[in-house]
Amino acid sequence: MIIGAGFAGIACARRLGDRGVSVTLVDRHNYNQFQPLLYQVATAQVASANVARPLREVFRRHPTVEVKLACVSAVAPATKTVTCVDGTTFHGDYLVLAAGSQPHYFDTPGADTHAFPLYALADAERLRSRIFEVFEDADRDRSVIAKGALNIVVVGGGPTGVETAGALADLVREVMPSRYHDLDVAAARVTLVDPAHIVLSGFSTRAQAYAAQALRSKGVDLELGVKVSDIAADRVTLSDGRQILTRTVVWAGGIRPAGVIGNAGIAAGHGGRIDVQPDLTVAGFDGIYALGDAANTRAADGTMLPLLGSVAVQAGRCVADNILADIAGSPRSPFRYRDKGIMAMIGRNAAIFEIGRRRRELHGVLAFGAWLGVHAWLLSGFRERATALWAWGWDYFTRNRAPSIIGPDAERIDWQDTTSTGT
């Protein structure tokens, strides 16, 4: 039984399904979402359908993989039984915990109420609606610009924050002027805030400098070395006391394991994740594995591996192979991560690609093309790859973005809810 249909859970289920093993895959959604492209859904570069694929389609050629749509609320590791919110229970001979992550607000006041996280497809659609809503409101009533209507704040200088800020800057500079002819789009301001004095901390110093310069060249204001101390309905307050009036705050400030991991009856390690052994089993629990964002996974030299999709996919395959080894009565193998590099998109013609363990670097247009190719390949189906490539090409050559609609359930903004002046 596998809890979670993210990168890790899908990879594990596929490999077991290929060998005819009976698998129960439980997830609260009936689709798999490609999380690295959620920011592009939010900024209208691709449609929701480009990054989500129905799970039953993914496993249509795996008759032994049963997909169950349910929200897991508790885990009994001793019996390898999970209980869902509706009272349904599932049991397996092996239990794989791959439930993914949720936003970590670090007790920032107002963040869970007023910020827009970017960790699920619904989050991206809500954020997209808000972005276009504030422009529509500003076009209708110019007075709301002084209330921060066109200010967008991105919290977090990691890959998600950098990629989102770059995409927002391109949206504001290249797309919005042709949509809002009478609106002073130049008044729009994208600000990235991070307590560190650098962006992309996991990258090389050279890459960090390139990313910061690329963002600034696109008009992004970098507020580094300061924290967001409070998020209200109409403003962000920084740790130095300054305020930025805004109705659009994107939270890319960190993640923590999904809530069910805390209800699994297993001691939590660093970051609230489960410490795993070299073969990805959980110490003290026979037949239980943890992987992806639910686990603290280490490389062969003992260093902690980053929470990357590539780590999750390889871990999922490793767990499947170890389960197959158990079934065959063979010894399990330790996880060996093959580092293929890291990358980040900063916007049109600007990206970073650090390849391989020696981190050979590509910057600029070549890295931009490499990023598009790699992410197209990683999408789970031919249709998703084709439509994503079409959307990217359309955006690149026409400077236009099609899925720029406000959702029917978008929350309307109360522009009277302002109390004081910000920066």
Does residue 73 surpass a pLDDT of 50? yes
pLDDT of residue 397: 80
Please compute the mean of the pLDDT values over residues 175-189 and round it to a whole number. Answer: 93
**300 and 290, same domain (yes or no):** yes
Q: Are 180 and 228 spatial neighbours (Cβ–Cβ below 8 Å)?
A: no
pLDDT of residue 250: 98
User: What is the CATH classification number for the domain harbouring 348?
Assistant: 3.50.50.100
Please compute the mean of the pLDDT values over residues 324-339 and round it to a whole number. Answer: 95
Classify residue 133: in a domain, yes or no.
yes
Query: pLDDT for 151-168, tens place per residue?
Result: 999 999 999 999 999 999
| Between residues 25 and 412, the one the model is more confident about | 25
Strands 116-117 and 81-84 come out as: unpaired
Query: pLDDT for 129-139, tens place per residue?
Result: 999 999 999 99
User: What is the CATH classification number for the domain harbouring 263?
Assistant: 3.50.50.60
Please compute the mean of the pLDDT values over residues 241-265 and round it to a whole number. Answer: 93
**225 and 348, same domain (yes or no):** yes
- Residue 420 confidence class, pLDDT cut points 50, 70, 90: very low
**146 and 182, same domain (yes or no):** yes
- Residue 407 confidence class, pLDDT cut points 50, 70, 90: confident
Exposure of 285 by Cβ count < 10 A (0-12 exposed, 13-18 middle, 19+ buried)? middle
Classify residue 136: in a domain, yes or no.
yes
**8 and 138, same domain (yes or no):** no
**75 and 165, same domain (yes or no):** no
Please compute the mean of the pLDDT values over residues 299-327 and round it to a whole number. Answer: 94
Q: What range defines the domain where residue 388 resides?
A: 111-253+342-398
Query: pLDDT for 236-247, tens place per residue?
Result: 999 999 999 999
**208 and 302, same domain (yes or no):** no
Q: How many domains does the structure of the chain reveal?
A: 2
**238 and 313, same domain (yes or no):** no
**288 and 310, same domain (yes or no):** yes
